Amino acid sequence: MHDSVTRAIPASAPTSRKPRLHSAMALAALAVAVFFGPVWLTVIPAWLEFPVATVVGDAINWFAREASIGGLAVKDITRLFAEFIDRPIQGAVVLLADGLFSGRGLDVKQSVPPLSWLAIGGVAVITAWRLGGRSLAFTVTICVGFLVLFGLWQNAMVTLSNVLVSVFIAAALGLALGIWSFRSTQVENITRAIMNVMQTVPIFSYLVPTLLLFGYGPSAALVATVAYALPPMVHNTVLALKSVPAETIECGRMAGCTRRQLLWQVQLPTALSKIAVGLNQTIMMTLNMVIIASMIGAGGLGFDVLKALRKLDIGSGLEAGMGIVALAVVLDRVSQAAAKRAAHGKHLQPGQQPLWRLLAVWIVAATVIAWLLPLAQLWPKAYLISTAAFWNNLVSWINQEWFDVLDAFRTFALLQVMRPIRDFLAAAPWTLVIGALAVAAHWTGGLRLVIYTVSLALFIVLTGYWGPAMNSLYLILIAVTLAVLIGFPIGFWLASRPRLQTAANLVLDTLQTLPTLVYLLPAVMLFRIGDVSAIVAVTLYAVAPAVRYGMVGMSQVPHARLEAAEISGCSRWQTLIWLRLPAAWPTLLIGINQTIMMAFSMLIIAALVGTKDLGQEVLIALNRSQVGEGIIAGLCVACLALIADGLLKAAAANTAIQRHRKNSL
């Protein structure tokens, strides 16, 4: 890890104290100029802001409504494309959720039912059993049973239909782009830059242009989902192909393989396990995006959660959210098992039937059973289970019995902690903030990082979103600080207890597979709408990487050094402060970076509970179909995330270099 981090730092990174002193003096001079100079150094003048959002919005609106290509109007092309991609989605929904209907008006009847829950659930269980054994099959059975017994099956199948089609398209495009990037360094540089930005642009920003181009419905949701889920597949394909040993490629060439044969018969099969990891990430991002895309017509479980949030029906929302969790667990665990199987190159044992044959036999058998026994086709409403009333009553009891305590905590956090930080950042001179970022960039990464950081910050200034950006920054600072203060100590504690690490990793994997909307439910349940609920939800979502990297960082200290410290009479506290933390610091910085990235992705979802930041700007733009505003506000979020990413990666690289130099002396 340290070697990869070291390569990320520019060779010109400052290491001496003199450049740092000069940059600190420059910041001090800027502070003096700000407090005694003209007003525009403190408050952004109107002449410095450009109507970038309006220009972008007008351009996209013109392209979508008036432009033509080869004599054909773009709007006709996009609508035709929308109808074309609607067909596989509708086909999947017919097969898994709705079936075929005949008749008109009040005489509409279902002529052909969809695949039964017994057939689809059995396919999932059999696949899990073949790929992951009994324990995975048991887990999948529990998840399938939950969806069936709680009456969530049909909406879960609508969600699954969108996921399957989106994953297929994203995987195909990602594989093609990855292969192209692998073969051309120039293409790789371009795609890497584009994919890095795409990974930091908030989810809602993808919905705004697709809604204009493709209209309200599943097709727009699919395009947005594919765009959001594409980067991990591209990145992992490139990395997987680069990891193929040179000896393997040389053997293929000596065997007389053409360039195409070398790719499809040597490189791709060898890299399959790592490509499967990218596919797993694509599946989880697709599921997360499909839930958000329910806002523009995707339907399914995501719409149930949104409807419950709007009505503050915590019980129904929690059930739908747990349905999303069950579906996510099935997709995640099965895809991970497939990736592990590909990595180990497992094949059929003697006498073992191929998986596709087992699944085909089961589907036929389950369909016959469902035709004879309606219970196996659709679980009767009389036997459904619901805990919505229990959760709603629990919320009411909490609000009645613990209202004073929760409200006091909420009021204290809001008035004594959150608002002072928000007001400080809102009142801070914009030039001084950018100057501080420039100094931090100079200390950690040199001149190139200064230019990069200042350019991103000036983009936010020029677009007129500096105020909302500072609100986003205040929420991120508080949430990340809480996540680190909670996560790192837990990770440190787990690092010295190897027996608990397997269970801890399982919990952390589960937390990272939960869709973002699920985290809003307990926050709203306890603290109602507002910034406090947003910070609670962001903290809950971002704490998992803090725990993981805290555990990994503490585990990297050589055992011989720990024994030497113990022989020298160091206490546990001294060992932690003077040995463990310095050794783990590069890894912990990367962990903070990952925590920030997770917090940014969740912050946009938290806009649903009433924040006044960039996420809210994107959400307002989505509701009002303001394409330019939505895209530019989303790019401003990406700028903040890229600034944090650049500074922390450079700091981690510098720390790793200094540690290497110290160890080599």
Q: Where are the domains of the chain?
A: 117-393, 402-430+466-664
Listed residue (102, 100, 122) closest to 112, CA to CA: 100
**Mean pLDDT lowest for which of 197-211, 554-568, 624-638?**
554-568
Q: 228-237, 463-472, 616-625 — which is least confidently predicted?
A: 616-625
The pair of structure tokens assigned to 349 is 């044992």
Q: What confidence category does residue 395 fall into, taking pLDDT thresholds of 50, 70 and 90?
A: confident
Q: Which residue in 253, 256, 245, 237 sits closest to 183, CA to CA?
A: 237
User: Residue 257: left (phi > 0), alpha (psi -120 to 50), or beta?
Assistant: beta
- Does residue 663 carry a pLDDT above 70? no
- Find the mean pLDDT for residues 130-156: 91
Question: Selecting from 3.40.50.460, 1.10.10.10, 3.30.200.20, 1.10.3720.10, what CATH number does the domain 402-430+466-664 have?
Answer: 1.10.3720.10
Q: Where are the alpha helices (DSSP H) in 243-313?
A: 246-254, 259-262, 268-270, 272-293, 301-311
Residue 477 has pLDDT above 60, yes or no: yes
Sign of the CA dihedral with 497 first, then 503, 509, and 515 last: negative
| Domain 117-393 homologous superfamily, CATH | MetI-like (1.10.3720.10)
The per-residue pLDDT for 129 is 92
pLDDT at 6: 36
Can you give the pLDDT at residue 2? 36
Among 177-181, 331-335, 419-423, whose mean pLDDT is lowest?
A: 331-335
Q: How far apart are CA 178 and CA 641, in angstroms?
A: 24
Specify the higher pLDDT residue, 488 or 309.
488
d(CA 462, CA 457): 9
Report whether pLDDT(220) > 70. Answer: yes
Instruction: Report the range of poorest mean pLDDT among 94-103, 192-201, 568-577.
Output: 568-577
CB neighbour list of residue 550: distance below 8 Å, 6 or more residues apart = 487, 488, 489, 490, 491, 492, 494, 495, 588, 591
Q: Which residue has the higher pLDDT, 26 or 301?
A: 301
**pLDDT classification of 278: cutoffs 50, 70, 90:** confident
Look at residue 303 in the predicted model and tell me its pLDDT: 81
Q: Tell me: the pLDDT tens digits for 631-641? A: 898 889 889 98
- For residue 569, what pLDDT is reported? 74
Least confident of 217-226, 330-339, 359-368, 650-659: 650-659
CB neighbours (10 Å) of residue 421? 15
Q: Tell whether the model's pLDDT for residue 231 goes beyond 60.
A: yes
For the full predicted model, state whether its pTM sits above 0.85. no
Region of poorest pLDDT, from 228-232, 363-367, 404-408, 609-613: 609-613
Does 660 score more than 70 pLDDT? no
- Above pLDDT 90, what percent of the chain? 15
For the chain, the average pLDDT equals 82
Q: Would 117-393 and 402-430+466-664 be classified into the same CATH topology?
A: yes
Q: What's the pLDDT at 466?
A: 93
What is the DSSP code (8-state) at residue 46? G
Q: Give the count of alpha carbons within 13 A of 12, CB side only.
A: 8
Residue 350 pLDDT greater than 70, yes or no? no
Q: Which residue has the higher pLDDT, 665 or 633?
A: 633
Q: Which residue, 246, 292, 289, 294, is CA-closest to 267?
A: 246
Is the pLDDT reported for residue 343 higher than 80? Answer: no
Q: Say if residue 381's pLDDT is above 70.
A: yes
DSSP 429: -
Q: Which residues contact residue 171 at a Cβ distance below 8 angstroms, ignoring those fewer than 6 apart? A: 233, 279, 282
pLDDT recorded at residue 469: 93
Angle, in degrees to the nearest 10, between helices 74-93 and 203-214:
110
Winning range, highest mean pLDDT, from 305-319, 379-393, 550-564: 379-393
Question: pLDDT band at residue 454, thresholds of 50, 70 and 90?
Answer: very high
Q: Is the pLDDT of residue 261 over 80?
A: yes
